């Protein structure tokens, strides 16, 4: 075979391979946080690949972890927070899908390419990242909202009108910083202080619930400790809702899409990982849930309202107060669990 024919043959093979990737067909089972996946993103993925995505919701990292560990779930992908990525890896629940070798990895922002929770991005791709702060209806309370005292030592106007996101690590870490300690500390004195603050505050709360996006604008709550993107969605529904960054310290987090070890549609899951690292597709994720995504160039595809949103763009005066917690040690997690169990009785 002459070189010209060989080249033509190889080109034909490459075209067939490309066509197969573009129209892979089949299905994909995505296990993700509730109210967090843009239907338009899934429709676009199906149109481009022929792969039908089914989403099943979960409400916390612990719920997702327990379900996956139990087996027999039928899911292909999960989207845990950074605090749980290492757990999924160390317990052998996900595969090394090598996003770092995918064509769209070049779009991952430099600061998210080599995170401590997944060095080199061998397992996970960025989904969204954000912060945990105070959400306040300023029609009800007009004082300082940039403090965790909003929920831990609430003013009279907010007593009985507060909702707490039922996510143990976010609340415990915020409480630890409120008492002058740091996330995942095993200092027993600090842990007792945090426990005492939480137990004393609980009678002043209304609920420990999800659904802030729908419930706060209609007046079910006047304040909450919650995630920034949900706070923005609530503000868009009611303009008096504001997001505060606690000066005592607030946590920064990132959720990440991973392929499960017992996935039945591994190649489809890898296609989806690569798909969400495209700037235009990452923008669809953010446009829906109102969080930043970690993909460079996605900003130009997002709604104009996100470019200056105080819930998304951390004001300079509060940037130094944010902490990206490490994964808690078993000892710290055991302490946290004991306190959380007491709090949620």
> What is the third-level CATH fold of 3-129+254-306?
D-Maltodextrin-Binding Protein; domain 2 (3.40.190)
Q: Quick one: pLDDT at residue 3?
A: 39
Q: Tell me the pLDDT tens digit for each residue of 102-134.
A: 999 999 999 999 999 999 999 999 999 999 999
DSSP, collapsed to helix, strand or coil, labels residue 214 as helix
- In this prediction, residue 24 has a pLDDT band, given cuts at 50, 70 and 90, of low
What tens digit of pLDDT does each residue of 156-206 get? 999 999 999 999 999 999 999 999 999 999 999 999 999 999 999 999 999
Beta bridge partner(s), residue 335:
none
So where are the chain's domains?
A: 3-129+254-306, 132-252+317-343
pTM greater than the 0.85 cutoff = yes
- Select from 3.40.640.10, 3.40.190.10, 3.40.1030.10, 3.10.20.30 the CATH code of 132-252+317-343: 3.40.190.10
Residues 27-38: tens digit of each pLDDT: 999 999 999 999
Q: Give the list of residues 6+ apart from residue 94 with CB closer than 8 angstroms, or none.
A: 78, 88, 123, 124, 258, 259, 260, 261
* Span 42-87, pLDDT tens digits: 999 999 999 999 999 999 999 999 999 999 999 999 999 999 999 9
- Cα–Cα distances in Å, from 64 out to 58, 81, 109? 6, 10, 27
Please write the tens of the pLDDT for every residue from 219-269. Answer: 999 999 999 999 999 999 999 999 999 999 999 999 999 999 999 999 999
For residues 51 and 48, what is the distance between their CA atoms, to the nearest angstrom? 8
């Amino acid at each position: 075979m002459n070189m010209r024919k060989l080249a033509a043959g190889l080109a034909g093979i490459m075209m067939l391979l490309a066509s197969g990737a573009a129209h892979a067909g089949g299905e994909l089972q995505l296990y993700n946080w509730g109210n967090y996946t843009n239907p338009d993103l899934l429709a676009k993925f199906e149109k481009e690949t022929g792969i039908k995505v089914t989403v099943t919701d979960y409400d916390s990292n612990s719920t997702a972890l327990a379900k996956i560990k139990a087996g027999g779930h039928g899911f292909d992908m999960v989207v845990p927070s950074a605090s749980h990525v290492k757990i999924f890896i160390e317990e052998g629940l996900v595969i090394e899908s090598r996003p770092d070798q995918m064509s769209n990895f070049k779009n991952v922002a430099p600061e998210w390419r080599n995170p401590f929770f997944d060095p080199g991005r061998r397992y996970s791709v960025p989904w969204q990242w954000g912060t945990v702060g105070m959400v306040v209806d300023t029609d009800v309370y007009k004082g300082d909202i940039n403090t965790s005292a909003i929920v831990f030592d609430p003013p009279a106007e907010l007593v009985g009108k507060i909702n707490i996101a039922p996510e143990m690590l976010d609340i415990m870490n915020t409480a630890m910083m409120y008492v002058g300690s740091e996330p995942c500390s095993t200092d027993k004195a600090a842990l007792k202080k945090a426990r005492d603050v939480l137990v004393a505050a609980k009678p002043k709360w209304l609920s420990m619930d999800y659904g802030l996006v729908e419930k706060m604008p209609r007046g079910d709550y006047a304040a909450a400790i919650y995630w920034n993107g949900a706070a923005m969605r609530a503000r868009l529904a009611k303009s008096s809702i504001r997001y505060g960054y606690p000066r005592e310290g607030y946590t920064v987090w990132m959720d990440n899409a991973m392929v499960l070890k017992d996935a039945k549609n591994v190649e489809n899951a890898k296609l989806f990982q690569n798909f969400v690292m495209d700037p235009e597709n990452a923008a669809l994720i953010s446009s829906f849930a109102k969080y930043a995504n970690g993909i460079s160039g996605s900003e130009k595809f997002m709604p104009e309202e996100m470019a200056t949103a105080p819930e998304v763009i951390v004001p300079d005066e509060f940037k130094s107060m944010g902490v990206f917690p490490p994964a808690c040690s078993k000892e710290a997690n055991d302490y946290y669990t004991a306190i959380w169990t007491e709090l949620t009785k």
